[in-house]
Structure 1
Amino acid sequence: MKQKIIHYYSNFIQTKIDSLRQMITDLTEDAKNDAKGSAGDKHETALSMMHLEQEKLNQKLKEFLDAKSIFDSIDFEKFNTKVSIGSLVLANDIYFLISVSLPKVEIEGKTIFAVSPQALLAQMLMGSVSGDEISVNNVSYKIQSIL
């Protein structure tokens, strides 16, 4: 199960990176094509809007490249009896992958959250062992297992 989750999230990150790169390339091409045949205020406004969109996409790309770098550096094979970075924690029938913050997914009917170690939930989980109970935002979590 852990390998499927890691594989899913690794593919998810790479797909986002590829998609963002393609959008940036397309926007650059559009700007070049627009520059060839237009002039005036409308043209300048359109180019400015394209430039702003390109900056947003570049920022998003940087975030995903950083996430990929961190995700790829985590040793998911290392087994600990205590929750640490790279652990897959089952608590309240929900899986939490302590890695980088990524969207919730469903795999084989199971709910999985990829949680950054900086997140409050991850901080509360870190160092815990199977059977421990923690409480975050008035929600109690009982650790069923650490994978």
Structure 2
Amino acid sequence: MDIKHELFKHCKSFVNKRVQTVEEIISSNQKALHSETKSSAGDKHETGRAMLQLEMEKASQQLEGISKMNEILSKIDFSKESKKAHLGSLIFTEKANYFLSISAGQIIVDRQKYFAVSVSSPIGKLLLGKSENELISFNGVNQNILKIF
């Protein structure tokens, strides 16, 4: 089993679950918006509709973010090999293992911990472009880069 492909599958699954959750929220809010009927308490009705519309806008923004995550994942090229950390790299340090992709948190593969991190996250920015045996300092902790795949 190729660890990078397994991590990639976890990231794809993470994105798909987020899409499903946000779409359920949108669908639920649309139903609630359509079921709201004009009542004698006009102000209360308008406030309810406004709140639902705000929720819908927030969910739409989340969908945009998820779409960007999918776009980033589609740019990962597993055939590209480099000794410098890049999108799609698997980076082993003495403190942690990182998969430069999207911010999907901790992933466990074969009882080994990996952190899927975005290249635009603070740790991702630090790792990007680094080589093996380089030292990085994150949150006051020094980490030596042992291996990059």
TM normalised by structure 2 equals 0.86
What code does the residue aligned with 1:7 have? Answer: K
- Report if the CA contact (8 A) 1:83-1:146 is conserved: yes
Q: Which residue, 140, 143, 147 being the options, matches 1:141? A: 143
Q: Secondary structure at the match of 1:134?
A: strand
Match of 2:94 in 1: 92
In 1, distance between residues paired with 2:141 and 2:121? 15
- Report if the CA contact (8 A) 2:83-2:131 is conserved: yes
Residue 7 of structure 1: CA displacement? 0.2
In 2, distance between residues paired with 1:120 and 1:15? 24
Mapping for residues 114-125 of structure 1, pairs under 5 Å: 114-125=116-127
Residue 110 of structure 1: CA displacement? 2.4
Residue 101 of structure 1: CA displacement? 2.4
In 1, distance between residues paired with 2:124 and 2:79? 19
What code does the residue aligned with 1:30 have? Answer: A
Residue 121 of structure 1: CA displacement? 2.4
In 2, distance between residues paired with 1:104 and 1:11? 13
- Report if the CA contact (8 A) 2:11-2:102 is conserved: no
Residue 13 of structure 1: CA displacement? 0.3
Structure 1: 5+ residue stretches without partners: none
Report % sequence identity.
27
Residues paired across the two proteins, number: 146
Residue 137 of structure 1: CA displacement? 2.9
Match of 2:28 in 1: 26
